[in-house]
Structure 1
Amino acid sequence: MIEVKKEGVILSKSDLEFENEGILNPAIIRVGDSVHVFYRAVQLWNQSTIGYCRLDGPFNVAERGDKPLIVPEFSYESQGVEDPRIVKIDDTYYMSYTGYDGTNARGALATSKDLVHFTKQGLVVPDISYAHFVFLVESAGKVNENYYHNHKFYYQESDPDKKILLWDKNVVFFPRKINGNLVFLHRIRPGIQIVSVKNIKDLTPEYWENYFQNFQDHIVMDPVYQHECNYIGGGCPPIETKHGWLLIYHGVEETENGLVYSACAALLDLNDPSKELARLPNALFSPEYNWELNGYVNNVCFPTGTALFGDTLFIYYGAADSSIACASLNLTALVEELTAKYRNNEK
């Protein structure tokens, strides 16, 4: 078993208006000895922006902004910019996030050269209805039947005229180009899918039509184990190791106490990350302390970023949708555990 140390809450909401309801689900990137934290800040009435702070080392707050860094500007994000992740590819920082317009939640992208000024690139996921998604996927052949089990969400009896587009979120970029392409994970419930393109501008309506007509080829992972049986989704940006890409993702299980969000771990092939090599059969860590069990949404450990100091991997996560907490573990031990499972799978 991997030894995981819960380091506790490192950031909580303040009295500032833009974050007086909660802070959670941070994008994390280490530059030198500093850890830059771009977090979802929630104000009353559940409107989200992205706030910023800088840590000296893995925990100590050295700087914290008194106003949001990124705010809603466009119709697709009019009610919130949420749940960012960040990587650096070549000389550019890629911050993916969820744009929420009050009805639809979809993955978007902003880029920066300096971690201060960000330019929004728009949505990077398909702008289609659920019905059209199902129509296209049906032509793709056999796909996990749970992809068709979302009708009650998309066609709500309380508001049958409400037009809910396909929810596609948890966009997480790989931190370098693979075979010359930009590669990112995204999530259409219940699994995790992958996209590989030369340029973001290649994500045209025609691209997505073809993508969904070959949908099975793009599914990286579907739920397997009990702790992730409802659905899974991308978490932290993948970490490159000599044995494969380490993916810290989230898994969701419905229990008698409601949905439980846990942090999970898997290993993907270095040259073809659409190929899963191994995953842990148990959650890496799950809600157990009060700050994870009770909050705006109970029973949530939602990992979204990591920082590596020596061989210690610090995993930052949203705790009960109310605060930001951190857990730590030995990176080598985790990769070895996954590698051992990969070797056993090959036998």
Structure 2
Amino acid sequence: MYLADTWPKTPDGTDFDGKQLFSQVRNGKSPFDGAWDVNLLIREIEENLGAEVTDIPFVYNGSNNYHVGPRLDRPGDIMGRRLLMFERTDGEKYIWHDLSPEQRACLLTQSACIRASLFNFQLPLDFAAVWLRERLFEQKPRSLPIPVAPTREICVALFTAKIEATIRNIGDMIGWENDNNTVGPIAVVAKQSLLRLIPYIMPADSSQSSLPSRSRPRRFWYPQHVHYMDANNNPLATSLYDWETGCIVPAILSDPLMAVVVDLVTDENANPSITRVPSDATPSDRVQYMEWTRHYFGALLNQAPTYERAIQAGKDARHLWFALRERRGEDPEGCSVIWKLG
């Protein structure tokens, strides 16, 4: 896996500002030259839409993609391979700092309801069977050893396959590609310990509410919402984007995090908490952050009460799963994951 797509530099060494891409490409001076053929994208859009791209006013980078906003000589729908184009809804993003306390509470409530709807959604089993492994975060196994079903067995099998894929054999890559780290003997020993641990940290079948596979984005960030102000001057979320980072996981492994100035999270007992707190946060700031997280999770767990039981039942499994997801290559052998279990 990699951290982010490379963003081009201008000849003077500054970051490309994302503007006038179309004219630069047409003049043979694409800032993405050698990394991405923008002409291929333009050609695919035009061939599928039967329309002509007249401009690309802006492009910016996401964690796993480039966001491109082409203009066409006439509107249309597109069917492509992995190319997804949507009409941009009205509204703005990055509005949190401009909102009043009441408006922020309104936005947190909406976000909680969206999250609860995703949690409560009963994902069709045939869909999960196709996409569970495909949408798993890297590194992922080539296959799963048993059929996908809402059972404890698939949770154990998924966890086992994930660890096997993350810590392979001595000399294989581990972590993010740009960390340039490989598996060593300590990581191999840690891997065997983790594999033996899995059956003991997975809830028993009696916790049925925590086991079905459901679809959800990996995490929520307030910039991933597009908003406009309604008649009462409250922010209304009109869309949610960055679904390309979405995962399908068993409910006990899902992540209800909401990122604003800080990350709104729960502790292992499903109590509201915060992480990623700024180093210069004052005591009054922390009080405010806790008000946000209590409001968000109060609304979320009210709409999806079984989410609380899932978090509590799977607390040890969740701890390890998130450690596998978040770990970087500071430890060349990756064994820091096992120490994080406490």
Q: Normalising TM by the smaller chain, what interval?
A: under 0.3
What TM-score results when the alignment is normalised by the length of structure 2? Answer: 0.26
Give TM-score, length-normalised by structure 1. Answer: 0.26
- Name which one, 1 or 2, has greater alpha-carbon Rg: 2
Structure with bigger helix share is: 2
* Structure with the largest fraction of strand: 1
